[in-house]
Amino acid sequence: MDDKIRTKKEKTYWNKLSVNYDRFIQKHWNIYNTVLLEKIENNVKSGAVVLDVACGTGLVSEKIAGKSKEVISVDMSENMIAQANIKKEQNQPNNISFNVEDAYKLSLDENSCDTVVCINALHNTKHPEKAFSEIKRVLKPEGKLIVSIVGLGTSFKIKVMFSIVNLLQKTPLPVFHNLNLKQAVNLVKDAGFKVENSELLKDKNDMMPLLFIVANH
C-alpha cells in the first residue's frame, strides 16, 4: 500500500475515534489506569524533557507532566490533538504542548529529549524502523525509551479473537504487527536500543495484554 494512502486511512480511523478514545482505552484495558500509567511515570526522571510519540488525547502526557520539565506531545491525527488541547484548557498542566506531527519525520532537534514515550502505537505503525530512527535522533545519549505495544501475537486465541472482532468493524483498526513479548523486545533491540526491562501486563478482565519495555539509547 502506498504510504500516502496508508497515512490517509490511519488518520481517518484515529480522527473518528478521537472523541471516544479515552472511553475506548478504559473499556479495553483496566491495566492502563491501574498499572501502566504508574510504570511509565516511575521510569521518567524528575526534570526530564519528554517526547510523547502518538500521544492520542494526552492520557500519558498528563500523567507524567508533574515530574517533567517539559512534555512535547505529537500525533498524526488532527482530531486527537484537538481533543488533547481541549482537555489541556480544562485541567492539564501548562508544561505540555500538543502538535500534529508524523513520527517518521519529527520537527525536534537532535539530542533534545531525555526520554521518549511511545504507548500502544508501534503495532499500528507500518514501518516502525522509521519511527525508531527519528526517536534515536532526538533522544540524548543514554536517554530512555519507554514503549508499550498491544500484544496481539501473545497467543493464537488472541490473534483469532482480534481478527474476528476487527473484521466486523465498519472501520477496522489499522494493525501491521501481531507481536508477543519476545518479538517486541527484538524489535526494540534491532533498532539499536539496550533493553533494560520487559514485561507482559494484563488485568484478568482485559482481552489483550500490553507489552511494556524500557530501553536505553
Grid cell locating 211: 507489552
Q: In what order do the strands lie in the sheet with 139-150?
A: 96-100, 68-75, 48-53, 113-119, 139-150, 210-216, 194-201
Cα gap 131→176, rounded to integer Å: 14
Confidence class for position 27, pLDDT limits 50, 70, 90: confident
Higher local confidence (pLDDT), 153 or 20? 20
Higher local confidence (pLDDT), 157 or 51? 51
Mean pLDDT of 46-72: 97
Residue keyed to cell 502526557: 61
Is the pLDDT at 25 greater than 60? The verdict is yes
Residue 26: per-residue pLDDT: 87
Looking at the structure of the chain, the number of domains it has is 1
Is the pLDDT at 172 greater than 70? The verdict is no
Residue 40: per-residue pLDDT: 98
Q: What are the φ and ψ backbone dihedral angles of 208, each rounded to 5 degrees?
A: -125, 140
Q: Where are the beta strands (DSSP E) in 1-67?
A: 48-53
Give the chain's mean pLDDT: 90
Mean pLDDT of 43-52: 98
Q: What is the pLDDT of residues 173-203, one digit of tens each?
A: 677 888 999 999 999 999 999 999 999 999 9
Mean pLDDT of 36-52: 98
Judged by average pLDDT, the poorest of 1-10, 69-78, 151-160, 170-179 is 1-10
Mean pLDDT of 167-171: 60
Is the pLDDT at 213 greater than 70? The verdict is yes
**15: domain CATH number?**
3.40.50.150
Mean pLDDT of 139-144: 97
Mean pLDDT of 76-102: 92
Residue 4: per-residue pLDDT: 61
Residue 137: per-residue pLDDT: 98
Supply the range of the domain harboring residue 43: 3-216
Is the pLDDT at 1 greater than 50? The verdict is no
